[in-house]
Homo-oligomer: A and B are copies of this chain.
Amino acid sequence: MSSNEMRQFVLAEIPQGKLTNSNFKLETAPIPTPGDGEILVKTRYISLDAANRAWMQGATYRDAIEGGQVMAGGILGEVLESNDPNFQAGDLISADGGWREYAALPGSVCQKQPHIEPKTHLLSIYGVTGLTAYFGFLEICQPKAGETVLVSAAAGAVGTIVGQIAKIKGCRVVGTAGSDEKCDWLVNELGFDAAVNYRNGSVFKDLKEACPNGIDCYFDNTGGEILEAALFQMNIYGRISCCGAVSSYDGAPPQAGPRGVPGLLVVKRLTMRGFIVSDFFAGSSVGTRTDAINQLKEWVDAGKIHVLEDIVDGFENVPDALIGLLAGENRGKRIVRVND
């Protein structure tokens, strides 16, 4: 590789079942030259998200990723050259820069970021992950002190933050995760009141024990069996925040939805609502994007939120990092350090 070349991962083909390494192809390409209104960005960190896998299934809130394209993904990068008056060399930006070491991006799709340390917090607590937890939980669930809050994929990037915000709000917090070790960690290290290993084969009964007063708020990262069990245990006027459906991303599409829809929604007067975090950036009953970041920062600085990050080193490891995330091997926010 010459000095004007870089590495990038192309999605060689759309996976039919579980995502594997062979779905990606590592390529060498010329470092791009930014055009009018574009900036040249050097990738520092790449954010790994379950949504990366969902994007391969078809159009969502963004176009589907197609085979042969550079794999999409959130990055934190440093501006090297700028043809956009809003940016200059040395700025930090976040964007959907894709899995490559350098990118030429229109300035209009990049968000300038402050210089803070650790920089990774810009992709975790102060990035889409933290904001998703903040708005998706506070705005949609509207939790009240004393209520029971269930969070699925609780040991993941968003789940760890939702659980801690729920504790700050005075709720009883129960999480689900995929191993006994993770469950112990949620309770002993993160302050969850209880945790349920959904792989034990008794989700319904275990949730019943963990939520003796029923469930008032459910922050759903998974869909599937946990959602169905939760629906049957929701209290009247319960709120379900639909953040993701990771149980169905990495495999065949689900053949059926949860029983109890819509019957239980009617008799228990439940609300289920899906969202995309950017819907709330301009304003919500819990503030704007700036308000959210300020509040999260206050909680972090006061030691009320522990920021859990799972950093993987080396650009070449991005595909494995995503495959492992989909298998549930991370705790907290998984990020690949490319160059910092």
The interface of chain A, by Cβ under 8 A from chain B, is 54, 60-61, 220, 223, 227-228, 236, 240, 242-245, 248, 253-276, 279
Specify which of B227, B256, B276 is in contact with A262 (CB 8 Å cutoff).
Answer: B227
Besides A266-B276, A269-B279, 11 other A-B contacts (C-beta < 8 A): A54-B267, A227-B262, A255-B256, A256-B256, A257-B258, A261-B261, A261-B272, A269-B276, A270-B273, A270-B274, A271-B272
Instruction: Enumerate chain B residues within 8 angstroms of A228, measured Cβ to Cβ.
Output: 257
Instruction: Enumerate chain B residues within 8 angstroms of A269, measured Cβ to Cβ.
Output: 61, 273-276, 279
- CB-based contact B220/A267 at 8 Å: no
* 6 CB < 8 A contacts A-B: A61-B267, A223-B261, A228-B257, A265-B272, A269-B276, A271-B272
Docked pose: A220 CA to B253 CA in angstroms: 25
Docked pose: A223 CA to B261 CA in angstroms: 7
Instruction: Enumerate chain B residues within 8 angstroms of A256, measured Cβ to Cβ.
Output: 255-257, 259
> Closest CB-CB distance, A218 to chain B, in whole Å?
10
- CB-based contact A263/B61 at 8 Å: no
- CB-based contact B245/A266 at 8 Å: yes
- CB-based contact A257/B255 at 8 Å: no
The answer to whether A242 and B255 touch (CB under 8 A), given A261-B261, A271-B273, A272-B272, is no
Instruction: Enumerate chain B residues within 8 angstroms of A265, measured Cβ to Cβ.
Output: 242, 272-274
- CB-based contact A258/B259 at 8 Å: no
Instruction: Enumerate chain B residues within 8 angstroms of A260, measured Cβ to Cβ.
Output: 257
Docked pose: A240 CA to B264 CA in angstroms: 14
Specify which of B254, B258, B272, B274 is in contact with A267 (CB 8 Å cutoff).
Answer: B274
> Closest CB-CB distance, A270 to chain B, in whole Å?
5
Specify which of B54, B259, B266 is in contact with A244 (CB 8 Å cutoff).
Answer: B266
Instruction: Enumerate chain B residues within 8 angstroms of A262, measured Cβ to Cβ.
Output: 220, 223, 227, 240, 242, 245, 257, 272, 274
> Closest CB-CB distance, A244 to chain B, in whole Å?
6
- CB-based contact B263/A223 at 8 Å: yes
> Closest CB-CB distance, A133 to chain B, in whole Å?
15
Docked pose: A267 CA to B267 CA in angstroms: 26
- CB-based contact B259/A268 at 8 Å: no
Instruction: Enumerate chain B residues within 8 angstroms of A275, measured Cβ to Cβ.
Output: 266, 269
Docked pose: A256 CA to B275 CA in angstroms: 24
> Closest CB-CB distance, A253 to chain B, in whole Å?
8
The answer to whether A259 and B257 touch (CB under 8 A), given A243-B266, A266-B245, A269-B275, is yes
The answer to whether A263 and B248 touch (CB under 8 A), given A271-B272, A279-B269, is yes
> Closest CB-CB distance, A284 to chain B, in whole Å?
13
Docked pose: A285 CA to B11 CA in angstroms: 48
> Closest CB-CB distance, A264 to chain B, in whole Å?
8
Instruction: Enumerate chain B residues within 8 angstroms of A267, measured Cβ to Cβ.
Output: 54, 60-61, 274
- CB-based contact A266/B242 at 8 Å: yes
Docked pose: A260 CA to B272 CA in angstroms: 13
Docked pose: A270 CA to B139 CA in angstroms: 15
Docked pose: A111 CA to B267 CA in angstroms: 23
Output the residue of A228, A263, A279 with the most chain B CB within 10 A.
A263
Output the residue of A253, A254, A259, A272 with the most chain B CB within 10 A.
A272
